[in-house]
Amino acid sequence: MDMCKSILVTGGAGFLGSHLCERLLSQGDEVICADNFYTGRKDNIAHLIGHPKFELIRHDVNFPLYVEVDQIYNLACPASPVHYQFDPVMTTKTNVHGAINLLGLAKRTKARILQASTSEVYGDPDRHPQPEAYWGMVNPIGPRSCYDEGKRCAETLFFDYHRQYGVDIRVARIFNTYGPRMHPDDGRVVSNFIIQALQDKEITIYGNGLQSRSFCYVDDLIEGLVRLMNCEDITGPVNLGNSGEYSMLELAEKILELTGSTSQLRFYPLPEDDPRQRCPDISQAAQYLGWSPTCELSVGLRHTIEYFKGLLQEMRGASNQRRASMATERYLRKLA
């Protein structure tokens, strides 16, 4: 029987982090969730508050954290262009200073540490699908560079700490992931399309819509992260994502079909440095982790659509309540 572990999850109130905290608690581990709530949301982990093995800390990884743990998952960083480009200097600092601080913690406690890296390290690739050995084509001075190069530098630090100090590391390169608890305003294609479709608004497509992405459901991704953390045979980097590939037009059509929306497509210029293709070679994950995604896109999209339906209903309810409250206040002022 496995021993209960004490595990730190930074960025634990975010989309992926909250699902990871749930998974770790379900297998009996003690979880410390650290988040500065820059993009993480308390609603994501509210149901975990009060769990006897869950602890929440408001903390920014740009500053050292002093805890005693067996494992560290570093998921701390805004992951969508809307959020990471809002304060690009802070994004770079979070990637670099955060990695240094957490690697220092792992060195002191002898904890195993996993870095949530990204497919963005491959840039706009000229090799398809992208294997881990591919070095990528990244613009070091563009508007996305704070995230792309920040993550690349974090990987460098992880491997240097491993080589120089013997820190026990794992590096996961995460490809497009979707599912419940995605931030509604993160600007990512799945959340954008679903929210626009549910409101019968125009579906915004950048470029000609033929650029492709692969989409991995969150439960599959979390399974991959946990397997990588607990695998003894590989440090990484390891690609985690779904190798099924869809164009933006195909994704939009599928979401329109599943929502029954009357939304029309509207095309806009392609953002600078936006990759034309993004699809993982997951042969290493299959070989070393025995992992591959199992959730079909249509199934995962249905779960995600239901989540956003509920979220939009809550938002409408809160808006109606505010309007009613304001009307009551105006009426009372008249009586006074």
Q: What pLDDT, in 10s, does the model give residues 48-73?
A: 999 999 999 999 999 999 999 999 99
Is residue 228 included in any domain, yes or no? Answer: yes
Is residue 101 included in any domain, yes or no? Answer: yes
Is residue 128 included in any domain, yes or no? Answer: yes
Is residue 230 included in any domain, yes or no? Answer: yes
Is residue 231 included in any domain, yes or no? Answer: yes
Is residue 135 included in any domain, yes or no? Answer: yes
Is residue 70 included in any domain, yes or no? Answer: yes
Domains in the chain, number: 1
Q: What is the pLDDT of residue 316?
A: 75
Q: Is the pTM of this model over 0.95?
A: no
pLDDT tens, residue by residue, 251-283 = 999 999 999 999 999 999 987 767 788 899 999
The catalytically annotated residue of 73, 84, 122, 147 is 147
Structural domain including 64 reads 6-181+216-243+274-294
Give yes or no: 147 in active site.
yes
Which of 301, 43, 271 is CA-nearest to residue 195? 301
CATH of the domain at 229: 3.40.50.720
CA distances from 66 to 30, 57, 142, 173 (A): 16, 11, 35, 27
Query: 117 — phi, psi (to 5°)?
Result: -85, -165
Is residue 124 included in any domain, yes or no? Answer: yes
